[in-house]
Structure 1
Amino acid sequence: MDEVGTDGRLRHVVPMHNALRVFLIVCGLIVLVLTLGELGRGLWPPSFVSLFFLIIVVGAFSVGVPMIAAGLLAPAATWTVAKGRIDIELRTPFSARTVSITPGAVADFELREIEWDSSGPTWGVVLKTVDGKRYHTRDFGSKATAEAFRDRIRLVLEG
């Protein structure tokens, strides 16, 4: 678990690795290119069966475009929790910004359970602000670990 450093700040990294970004972009492009390459001939010239091909192509776009968008726009985050302030640095390949949250702007820290089909559930902490924004930590293997991390954030934030 993340520990408090010698400067009294708790640092927590929520990674978005470049290899994962490339994987998502490539998979999204494969879905789009293969679908249009194989089914594009059924779209033009328009005929009665073009509608069926169009439904399949739209379905492929609904999978491929979000994958590409996630690869390009999903942020990596670094939380820095200090007394009276949480700074969350959000980085994408195109931008970086830092969000500063004071204790008065925190609405709640809630636990979220993530169900998996191939293994047991994981747990994360969600910081909800009074203006409705939500910031997620990375996943933890147990509810107790997530609760301990949430309590540690509160302890450092409140001093």
Structure 2
Amino acid sequence: MEATSHAPGEPIVLSHIMPTPIRILFGGVGVLGSILLLVELGPALWPPSFLTLFFGIIVLGGLSVTLAFVADSALGPDQTWEIRPGKLTITYQLFNQTSVKTYALDDLDGCEVVSSQYDSDVETYQLVCRLPLGRTVKTGLESTPFLMAILAFLRAPIATSQGASYAETRLRSPDFSKREEAERALAQLMAR
């Protein structure tokens, strides 16, 4: 996403928002995929036979993908970052719940600009801030702790079982399209 243009002294604001129709579409695709998977391959699981283990692995792998769609569409909060000199304010919003977290520069263990290119030709950049040892990212949407734990498990089952994962100790901004914009945001955050 593009950061809003700003005059000197104004905060840099950027956001990642998933519109409700897209959330419903992804959730529906996940539910439909789960049902289709169970209807088509479920009969191969019962009664137990020589191939039950083989089909069981396929079903579990498929369900991990389809249920991740459902969980992410239902539980992935929208983020708005407001970057001021020495201060970062993140607003998380999920449906009708809003949570605001503010971090002073002293609350962070360091920040850097990283490339966030995955599988496309377009390279984007993120501002990544590390939290001090023992602190994890909290969205503030505590009314759904069980569902948030399920989402964390679906994203990284092995890391979740071993404690806080890498992703839970880093604040990752929405994407910048240009490295210069990300570096300008980092410079503004680091200014006192």
Q: Which residue of 2 aligns with 1:102?
A: 104
Conserved? CA contact 1:12–1:79, under 8 Å: yes
CA distance in 1, matches of 2:66, 2:184: 38
CA distance, structure 1, for counterparts of residue 181 and residue 7 of structure 2: 19
Contact 1:10/1:153 (<8 A) preserved: no
What is the DSSP-based 3-state SS (H/G/I as helix, E as strand, rest coil) of the residue aligned with 1:100? Answer: strand
In the TM superposition, what whole-angstrom CA distance separates every residue of 1:92-140 from its partner, at most 9, and x where no partner exists?
A: 2363221111121122111121224331321111122323532222212
Identity %: 26
Q: Which ranges of structure 1 fall in alignment gaps of 5 or more residues?
A: none
1:12 lines up with 2:11 in the alignment: no
User: Cα 1:139–1:4, aligned 2, differ >3 Å: closer, same or farther?
Assistant: same
Which of 1 and 2 has greater Rg? 1
- Contact 1:87 1:99 (8 Å CA) reproduced: yes
The Cα offsets for residues 5-61 of structure 1, whole Å up to 9 and x where unpaired, read as 798433322223223322321221122111101111111222222222211111111
- The one-letter code sitting in structure 2 at the alignment partner of 1:20 is I
Map of 1:144 onto structure 2: 180
- Separation (CA, whole Å) in 1 of partners of 2:186 and 2:8: 20
Are residues 85 and 151 of structure 1, via their aligned partners in 2, closer, same or farther at CA, if it must alter by over 3 Å? Answer: closer
- 1:132-158 deviations in Å (ceiling 9; x for gaps): 532222212232232122223334xx2
- Look up the match of 2:44: 42
Is the CA contact 2:105–2:189 (under 8 Å) kept in the aligned structure 1?
Answer: no
Give the corresponding residue for 1:26.
Answer: 28
Match of 1:65? 67
Provide TM-score, normalisation by structure 1. Answer: 0.82
TM score, norm. by length of structure 2? 0.70
Question: RMSD in angstroms over aligned alpha carbons?
Answer: 2.4
CA distance in 1, matches of 2:10, 2:179: 25
Say whether the 8 Å CA contact 1:42–1:50 is kept in structure 2. Answer: yes
1:28 partner letter: G
Whether the 8 Å CA contact 2:87–2:105 is kept in 1: the answer is yes
